[in-house]
A and B are shown apart, each in its own frame.
Chain A
Amino acid sequence: MGQLACRPEPEPFVDRREACSDRNPQRNLYFGDLHVHTSYSFDAWINDVRTDPAGAYRFARGEEVAGLKLARPLDFAAVTDHAEYLAEVEGCTTPGSAVYDSARCKDFRAGSTAALVNFGLGLDGDEATRWDDLCGQGGLDCEKQAGAVWTRVQEAAEAAYDRTAACRFTSFVAYEWSGSRMLSNLHRNVIFRSSRVPALPVTHFEAPTAGELWQRLQGDCRDGVAGCEVLAIPHNSNWSNGNLFTPEIPAGADEAELAEVRADLEPLLEIYQHKGDSECSPGVVGLGPPDELCGFEKLRALPFDDCGDGTGSQGMVGRGCVSRLDFLRGILLAGLGAEQRLGVNPFRLGVIASTDTHNGTPGNVEEATYPGHFGVREGDPVARLTGNVPAGARNGPGGLVAVWAEENSRESIWDALRRREVYGTSGPRMAVRVFGGWDLPDDLCDAGDFVAAAEPGGVPMGATLPEWTGTSGPVIAVSAQMDPGSAGAPGSRLERIQVIKGWQDADGVGQIAVVDVAGGPDGSTVDEATCAADQRGAALLCGMWRDPDFDPARPAFYYVRVIEDPVCRWSWRDCLTLAEDARPPACTDPNVPHTIQERAWTSPIWYSP
């Protein structure tokens, strides 16, 4: 290992605050949203969204904003507006600014599709620069203006953060770095650990590649501001034609060193949000045996080309090949391969989900009350079912990130993200606990305190198993409790728990196995005429599984998927509100299912020989 391994742990508490009155060494569960756009993002403003970061945090805390209100507040949230165009949006929307009357700003305010496309295309490619007509001579001082907006972002986070002992809500200072190349998505959300952050966000304009982003985060934050700590979370690998997780090795660079930097700054993957699921997919070789649950919320529907060992382009407009490196399973397997080759795994990725809302409404994930995610462009049932940003009826409300942390404070939640003791859900708040170990008690799932009994001999989700000591494979133990729901909106029961194992076989080929470890198909049904659900599943499932085919010489990972009984999908609920002859084609499209089995995906536990 290089220098990074010697980097000291961050101070336990950087921000001044009262100690939380509930600090639980056995860890509490907190739900949040780490991907939220507001009116500060060009593509939200242009669609008439006027909720700003302060409004988004108020919404997350349970207040009514723009006519919407969460049935249950979130425990934490990060507003992640596009770092690019912070100054330009401000200038174009402030009467009297130096650029307000420019043609580009008029186009922008008109909200035309052409303007949206131009602003979007302006971010593409390594050569992208700020527009001269807005940021050049006679235009805005874009750096200064972006700094002013960034200060307001920080103030909004500060106002929302509960620094009292009640520890009711945590906000994070954050932004989205929005790079793409040939319309293959490379976006990352950058989340800071405390209020100590650099004076400006890093944009795609100054740092066109991920490598340069990491360099800037290291320099501007870790080396530049005392107490600053940061991580970056890639999302929508399903939009990247294999590019997000094909390492780029600039000439003369050391591959192992780059892998180490990546592993250090990017410990997580957002595998689910408004724009679909990135766990696995039918039609792509290398993601395991047929698994019907992989058809879940796919942005790209067959037919499409498999990228194989290559990469493609234009994923962000639904084109180009689809790669195994667009999906968690393929990425984790590639990580095992790199580990064998380089001695370091660049893709030791934990799992989160979020919404990517462009309405400034973090955590608004209910299928039954989905208002669209993209302002007026998705403001009514027909618009949602016929839209194309980017996949119309195949989009969804997005998910949540769940965190096992000692307390609801910035440092505690961020540290849990860093150690990957986190999981993602497609929206519901089921509680899922995973431990892995060589000698976990056999009766963990019988009765009594699961956590107290499993903790001493096990490691939690996100961790690496201790050195192999036994004579057999590791045990994965999972306890899952259904989402209790909210007043008037009961949660769904649990159908099953699955363990997904990935490993390299003796020929170095990645393999996947999917095993049911508790529950199973239970005969639940949904009446599609009324959306009434007859759920037969469990309130609590607990399962233990010992890997029967363990090879101590080969690295492996184990992650868990928890499946709920089905309910009506948002799109079908929208269809039911329309007269039959007024329903758009999406209502009869076989690629748009009428029901959905919501789920959770946990961070893996790894074995490393």
Chain B
Amino acid sequence: MTWRAILREPLVHFLVVGLALFALHARVRPEPDAAMRVDQGRVESTRAGLTERLGRAPEPGELAAALRDALDDERMVREALRLGLDRDDPIVRRRLIQKLRLAYESTADVDARDDAALLALRDADPTRYSAPARIALTQVLAARGRHPDLSAAAEEMLRRLAAGADPAELGDPGPHARRFGLRPSGDYAGLFGPEFAAALADMPEGTWSIVQSPLGAHAVRVDARAPAELLSLDAARPRLQADLAERRRAEAVRTALEDLRRADPADLAGLPADLATALAEHDL
């Protein structure tokens, strides 16, 4: 077995992740009595912190008060833990979950980025790694409120455009250019509203249609379409690398959770057997 092959072994991964978590835990676990110890270093760092905050050296009373406050905090934390006050507190729970999640995520190997893994990721979700479908169009607006009869104004516009009138001569004086080149179809939702963008999906090319939007009635002609196109590996690489790292972090959390589920199974004894079986199938 080469080193490379060994490194690919799932069991090795498991051991490495386990060791990393152990080391991490050893590093972040506080020494039990350090928090109550007041030594010269602690006095000086408290003094320095206060000096920064106050803009001057603290009085002896202020220094003592700051040290006492920190010790009191620790005393209260210990007592609260002894009384079990952490157990039902949603904020404490959220913090603990967040810390553990980050610890799991930090075990993920986010730097290995071989092309095969990137290609597999791309091909598993081609829509995400494609240039979107695009539409080029010309549009002229009859704005709501500027015409006594909006429908009649739109129909008249349509009739003249179909007869070959110049779009620049018609419609209301809006801020946008009349023609748009090939743009992602979603862009048109931003420009003229979701109703407008939805109407483009089935619109034939080269003929004028009326589309209603919150802005009024638009005469629209689709000039060209370009289909969605799967990106080459090079074009998608930066995004694939970022997504792969994200995915591996999520995977590290998922794997760790699977272990936790095995170690700490749900108690389904109180449920009817069929319901318990059905739920158990979902990795409860």
Contacts and interface: CB of A to CB of B under 8 A. Distances in A.
Contact of A107 (B49, B106, B145, B174): B49
Contacts, number: 190
A159 B110 CA distance: 15
Interface in A6-29: 18, 20-24, 26-29
Interface in A98-129: 100, 102-104, 107, 114, 117-118, 121-122
Contacts of A27: 177
B20 to A, nearest CB: 11
Nearest to A491: B214
The contact size tier of chain B is: 35 or more
Contacts of A542: 172-173
A339 interface: no
A72 B52 contact: no
B98 A50 contact: yes
Given A24-B177, A24-B180, A540-B141, A114 B214 contact: no
A26 B191 CA distance: 15
A539 B216 contact: yes
A103 B34 CA distance: 12
Interface in A578-604: none
Q: Is chain A's binding surface mostly helix, strand, loop or mixed?
A: loop
A70 B197 CA distance: 17
A104 B242 contact: no
A67 to B, nearest CB: 13
A568 B175 CA distance: 27
B42 A484 contact: no
Contacts of B46: 103
Interface in B234-280: 235, 238-239, 241-243, 246
B176 A451 contact: yes
A456 to B, nearest CB: 13
B143 A539 contact: yes
Nearest to A164: B131
A168 B184 contact: yes
B53 A114 contact: yes
A73 to B, nearest CB: 7
A63 B191 CA distance: 20
B235 to A, nearest CB: 6
A249 interface: no
A440 to B, nearest CB: 12
B58 interface: no
Contact of B184 (A166, A429, A482): A166
Nearest to A450: B173
Interface of B: 23-24, 27-28, 42, 45-46, 48-49, 52-53, 98, 102, 106, 131-132, 134, 136, 141, 143-146, 167-184, 186-187, 189-194, 196, 213-216, 226, 229, 231, 235, 238-239, 241-243, 246
Interface of A: 18, 20-24, 26-29, 31, 48, 50, 54, 72-73, 75, 95-96, 100, 102-104, 107, 114, 117-118, 121-122, 133, 155-156, 158-168, 429, 431-433, 444-453, 479-482, 484-487, 490-491, 538-540, 542
